[in-house]
Structure formats: structure tokens, C-alpha cells
Amino acid sequence: MDKHHGKYLTTGEFAKLCKVNKQTLFYYDQIGLLSPVFKNEKGYRYYSIRQIDLFFVIDLLKELGTSLNEIQKYMQNRSPESFLSLMYQKKEEIVKIRQEIETKEIMIEAKIALMEEASHLDFYQVTLEQLPEATLYLSENIENITDEEFVKVISDFINELNVSHLDTGYPIGVITKREQILKGEFTNYSYLYIEQPHPKEGYPYFQGVKGDFLIGYHIGDGYTIHKTYKRLFSELERLNLTFGDYVFEEYIYDTVVMNHKEQYVTKIMIQVNQLGN
């Protein structure tokens, strides 16, 4: 059989077209995955140009996480029907992968935006701002639970966000009711929450009350947060404001971006009313 007349390719030529080394082709031949069309009397291997597409399909399946053993099983029972079934299966996997990547991209974009916004904040300033309504996904009620129970709630909440694809890249915050704050129970939270800028249907959400909020920042860990609340109380009094129903807290800087807890920054948003309202 004449190689040039039949338009066959040597191992080196075929490997170059497929952008792999010759050893890969030798191995595929050894395991019966992709063998040359023929070998001449000197043992030289020759491939057909028709096998290029087959190699690319094998390479595609590998890139999609298909094991060589699974590919071998397909190769042993090739048919238009089995090929079509395989392609539909891989298409579904690609759609899922793309959705996961898009979700991660949204999360990263949110974290970038939040961090860039944080770089322009004055953490020593207290401001009165009007916040829009926000859709929040809440944990179970966590008032008066033990430290051990709190750890379990956090773990369950994070797992729920991952399973339900509700992690938006926004920080996990805490809601504390007015009664706890007025009693000085600043860490007796009522709920964990995460903001949902694009809410999915079928989930129970909490609509964060829009309106006026006194916003300040606590620098340090939770053990000293009472000092920041004392400062915010003074500002409430100075502005003739009273507490609304809730206080929201979110980390601005935490262990993700800071080495020491003394550098952590927590954003405190106190819902307020004008005195007499």
C-alpha cells in the first residue's frame, strides 16, 4: 500500500496535526483506543486523515472529564445512536459547567465591587443614609442559641447556599432585633442573611425594610463592638432619632483580606425613625 498515493500520514505528521507528541499516539494504539490504519513491513505506522476527527472527539471527551476507560467502552460499541447519546450527555454537562462558571463570575464581580467600594469608605465617619429595599435570604432563627449551636447554623446555612446556588458573593450578614440591641445583647443575633440582587423563584425571602439608616463601622473583633454601638447611640440622640425594628451587620474586611482581627471592619446599619414617629 503506497502511503503517498493513499494520502496517509506518518505518526509524526499525524501527531503534529493533532498537536500531541508521538508517545500519546503510541499509547492510544497500545490500549486499542486509536490505532494506525496500517503498518508497513518496516513497522512504520500510517494514519488516515479520516482519523483526525476521531482523535479530536477523543480529546474533547478527555477535556470534559471522560476517563480513557469510558472512551474505550464507547469505541468498542460505536454506532450513530450511541454517538448521539454521548454527545447529548456531554452537552448537558457543558451547560451545567457553564452555569457554574457564570455563577462564580457573578460572585467574583460582586466581591470586586464591594471591595472597591470599601476602599473609598471612611470607617471613622457615621452617616445617615436612605437605603433601598433589599431582598435577603435568611437562616433559621438563631436568638438565644449556644455557641455550639451557632457554629452548626452557620455550617448549615453555608451548605444550603451552595446546594441551592444562592451564594451571590455578598457577605453573610446578621440581623439583630431592636430589643436585643437596647438590652446590650449585641451578639444575640436573630438571623443570618445574604443579599439576593437577582432573587430566584420558589424561595422564602425577607424584604429588607427600605428607609433611613444610621451607618457606622466597627474596627476590631466582636469583643469590642459595644464601644462602637455606644458611639452610635450618642449619634442617634444628637440627631433626635430612635431605633427602628432591626440592625444589620456585615463584614467589610475580615479574615479573607486581613491578617489580624484588630483590622477587621464591620458595617453596622441601624434602622431609624425620626423622634416622635
Mean pLDDT of 208-213: 85
Closest CA to 94 of 72, 65, 57: 65
Q: Are residues 55 and 188 in the same domain?
A: no
**The three grid cell numbers given for residue 3, joined into one nine-digit string:** 502511503
Is residue 181 within 8 Å of residue 221, measured between CB atoms? no
Task: Find the domain containing 254 and state its range.
Answer: 121-274
Specify the number of domains making up the chain: 2
Question: Is 127 within the bounds of a domain?
Answer: yes
Q: Are residues 251 and 128 in the same domain?
A: yes
Mean pLDDT of 63-73: 90
Per-residue confidence at 1, pLDDT binned at 50, 70, 90? very low
Per-residue confidence at 3, pLDDT binned at 50, 70, 90? very low
Question: Is 21 within the bounds of a domain?
Answer: yes
**pLDDT at residue 2 above 70?**
no
Q: Are residues 72 and 126 in the same domain?
A: no
Q: Are residues 172 and 73 in the same domain?
A: no
Question: Is 210 within the bounds of a domain?
Answer: yes
**pLDDT at residue 277 above 80?**
no
Helix, strand and coil content of the chain, in percent to the nearest 5, comes to: 45, 25, 35
| Burial class (CB within 10 angstroms; exposed 0-12, middle 13-18, buried 19+) of 247 | buried
Query: DSSP 3-state assignment of 155?
Result: helix
Question: Is 46 within the bounds of a domain?
Answer: yes
**pLDDT at residue 236 above 60?**
yes
Question: Is 254 within the bounds of a domain?
Answer: yes
What percentage of residues in the chain have a pLDDT greater than 90? Answer: 76
Q: Are residues 55 and 187 in the same domain?
A: no
**The three grid cell numbers given for residue 234, joined into one nine-digit string:** 450618642
DSSP 38-81: EE-TT--EEEETTHHHHHHHHHHHHHTT--HHHHHHHHHT--HH
Question: Is 2 within the bounds of a domain?
Answer: no
Q: How far apart are CA 101 and CA 42, in angstroms?
A: 50
Q: Quick: pLDDT tens for 249-264.
A: 999 999 888 999 999 9
CATH number, domain containing residue 195 = 3.20.80.10
Q: Are residues 228 and 156 in the same domain?
A: yes
Q: Are residues 38 and 132 in the same domain?
A: no
Q: Are residues 157 and 254 in the same domain?
A: yes
Q: Are residues 141 and 244 in the same domain?
A: yes
Q: Are residues 65 and 139 in the same domain?
A: no
Q: What is the pLDDT of residue 40?
A: 87
CATH number, domain containing residue 45 = 1.10.1660.10
Q: What is the pLDDT of residue 222?
A: 85
Q: Are residues 66 and 143 in the same domain?
A: no
Sheet holding 127-131, edge to edge: 127-131, 211-219, 265-274, 241-253, 173-177, 191-195, 134-138, 206-208
Q: Are residues 133 and 238 in the same domain?
A: yes
**pLDDT at residue 209 above 80?**
no
Q: What is the pLDDT of residue 200?
A: 87
Q: Quick: pLDDT tens for 157-199.
A: 999 999 998 999 999 999 999 999 999 999 999 999 999 998 9
Question: What angle (nearest 5°) sits at the alpha carbon of residue 221, between those of residues 220 and 225?
Answer: 85
Q: Quick: pLDDT tens for 89-110.
A: 999 999 999 999 998 999 999 9
